[in-house]
Structure 1
Amino acid sequence: MKIWYLWILILLVSCSEPEILKEVNWNENCISWEVLDGGATTSFKWLIKYSEGGENRKDLIFESYSSPYISDIEVYKDELLILCPNIRNKVNDTITINLKDINKYIDEPIVYEQDILKRKNEYYKEPSFVKKDREYAVANGLL
């Protein structure tokens, strides 16, 4: 019986529309930061999508389920800065994506699930803070 409720919950979460938290512009293109809120029993699913010019189509470039936790996005020059709170050090760490390589991210988006890098491309360099968070989670039985 419990499995039935779990499947219903997964279906409801997977069918819900993401909420747009912020949109930023780069060279007249739009980058959106979106979230699917899993509620009390599941984690947030962070989505960063890119759309060219006035197109309605949004392409996924970055996804994170649970962690790394995303607190904001910004564009600085030709870089997308994905801000991630570091609670232990009380600072924001940053994942950086070179927007000049945006087509590589559209073709092969970055995907994390609980600090584990599930999919990457040759242009993405995983920041050391994400690796350290993963090592900390493994060492403390959090994953």
Structure 2
Amino acid sequence: MKLWYLWILILLISCSEPEILKEITWNNNRISWEVLDGGATTSCRWLIKYSEDGENNKDLIFESYSSPYIADIEVYKDELLIFCPDFRNRVNDTIKINLKDIDKYIDEPIVYELDVLKRNNEYYKEPDFVKEDREYAIANGLL
């Protein structure tokens, strides 16, 4: 019986629609920051998607399950800035994506799961603070 409830819970979570937290534009293209909130049983899944001018479909370019935790996004010149909240008194907690290489991120989105980089591409440079968070989590038995 417990397995039945677990299956229904997984089905409900997997069928839920992400909530759009913010949409910004870059060169008439749309970048959306979305979240799938797992509620009390699971962590949030942060999604950053890209839509070309006039297109309705959204392509995933960045995903983070639980951590790195995303607090906000902005575009500055040709860079997507993904802001992560302060943790352990760090100063620079920003993930940067060069939007001139956006096609590479559409083809190979960046995917994190609990600070572990699960999917990467040659254009993404992982920030030191994410590596340090992963090392801290491993050292303290949090992963």
CA displacement 1:74-129 (0-9 Å, x = unmatched): 00000000000122216560000000000000000000000000000000000000
Structure 2 stretches of 5 or more lacking a match? none
Structure 1 stretches of 5 or more lacking a match? none
Residue of structure 1 in register with 2:53 after alignment: 53
Residue of structure 1 in register with 2:42 after alignment: 42
Q: How does 1:1-143 map onto structure 2 within 5 Å?
A: 1-89=1-89, 91=91, 93-143=93-143
Is 7-16 or 96-105 further displaced after alignment?
7-16
Is 86-95 or 72-81 further displaced after alignment?
86-95
Dislocated runs of 4+, deviation >2 Å: 1-7
- Give the percent of matched residue pairs that are identical in Structure 1 and Structure 2: 84
CA distance in 1, matches of 2:5, 2:127: 37
Paired residue secondary structure (1:60): strand
The 1:3–1:86 alpha-carbon spacing in structure 2 relative to 1, beyond 3 Å, is: farther
**Hey, which of these two has a bigger chunk of strand by percent?**
1
CA distance in 2, matches of 1:126, 1:2: 40
Is 92-101 or 4-13 further displaced after alignment?
4-13
CA distance in 2, matches of 1:123, 1:84: 20
CA displacement 1:35-74 (0-9 Å, x = unmatched): 0000000000000000000110000000000000000000
CA distance in 2, matches of 1:87, 1:10: 30
CA distance in 2, matches of 1:132, 1:59: 29
Aligned residue pairs: how many?
Answer: 143
Paired residue secondary structure (2:41): coil
Q: CA RMSD, aligned part only?
A: 1.1
CA contact (8 A) 1:32 1:50 kept: yes
